[in-house]
Amino acid sequence: MTPHATTGYDAHSHTPPADSSEERAGAPEQRFTHASVLGTGAWGTTFAHILSQAGLTVSMWGRNEGVVDFINSHENSTYLPGVTLSDAINATTDIRQCIQDSNLVCIAVPVGAVRATLEQATPALDPDATLLSLAKGLELDTLRTVHSVICEATGFAPTSVAVMSGPNLSREIADRQPTATVVACEDIERATMIARTCHTSTFRPYVSSDVLGCEIAGAVKNVIAVAIGAAEGMGLGINTRATLITRGLAEMTRLGTTLGASADTFAGLAGIGDLVATCSSKLSRNYSLGVRMGRGASLDEALELSPGVVEGVRSALPILQLARAHDVDMPITESVVRVVHDGDSIEHMGQMLMSRPQKMDGWRIELL
């Protein structure tokens, strides 16, 4: 289905990025110069901030005029308060104006809005542009990955569309705390070009050709984070968290490899790296929602307190449907679906998981 590759290939071990105040000397000749970011939430704004630090001019698009005005005043006080944005970033509510002259277009809207947003944008896209997905999840009705949705909505070839995934909590990155990520594309040279473009002194991209693996990892970890947050909210300890992280990793690996992804991807930044970050920080909307529910809040109450879309809630059911269609066992995902879609209790979720029959350890399912 998708070519396999590990996430261990480091674009910068071959060609170090250039330096201004942010980059090192010896920049490769092929680089993006003008980027667009569709979406003005925390991650979209943070990635625009990264691109501007790397020396690009960045245009952002969003529907909310108030947020757009904030960004043009050099601070997204709604989603990223306290972070001063570069003069190289401008925002607009006109999507065609935003993507005009952009050779790198980054999609940072919620998964459910990706198709409609790109159908609106496609007539103005440069046919030679590179598209980069920053979204994580599956489309609800079609069960398709974001990469597939982007290709369908725009008509772009799969080799022109990349995805980014890794332990990338927006606030920490915006505060210039060091992190790494993975840029995946079937065209590894294109992935390398993106990685070189957005590499800064605190943001280090690796590259991969396993698009499918990165997307499955990014989608499933959000669901696992809801379960782990619920355990935290109930007052359970590190043993429980470690158990859920480990078994959650097994779930995402089983699903990914069944669909054709490489098992190595799930042992890298896009897999265990992103899973640990999302399942350990209150900066994660998915984890925080689980914590609130574990402390007794209803789903509606927990969602109302979330500062943005909680993809783990939206993606849980399509992920489970995809798993069932391929006969893949995903008990943690199933338990989250029972809570957020079927109205089951958090307490019963734990009981269900602990009463399952014995299995061999690891990501392959084998009965004792």
Distant-in-sequence, close-in-space partners of 10: CB < 8 Å, separation ≥ 6: 206, 207
Q: How many CB atoms lie within 10 A of CB 298?
A: 11
Distance CA 306, CA 291 (A): 11
Catalytic residues: 221
Q: How far is CA 123 from CA 96, 97, 180, 194, 217, in A?
A: 8, 12, 34, 23, 31
Name which of 96, 121, 93 is nearest 107 in CA terms: 121
Whole-angstrom distance, CA of residue 163 vs CA of residue 135: 8
Rg (alpha carbons) of the chain, rounded to whole number: 20
Q: Which residues are paired to 181 by β-bridges?
A: 205
Neighbours of 50 (CB within 10 A): 25
Residue among 175, 201, 181, 230 at smallest CA distance from 340: 230
Sheet arrangement for strand 57-61:
89-92, 57-61, 34-38, 104-107, 130-133, 161-165, 179-184, 203-208
Instruction: Report the candidate in 129, 106, 119 with the shortest Cα–Cα distance to residue 153.
Output: 119
Which one-letter DSSP state was computed for residue 140?
T
Helix axis angle, 311-325 to 285-294, nearest 10°: 90
Pair 198, 205: CB distance under 8 Å: yes
Give the integer Cα–Cα distance in Å for 38 and 61. Answer: 5
Which residue in this structure is represented by tokens 């904030």?
Answer: 70
CA distance 311 to 315: 6
Distance, in Å, from the CA atom of 324 to the CA atom of 122, rounded to the nearest integer, reads 34
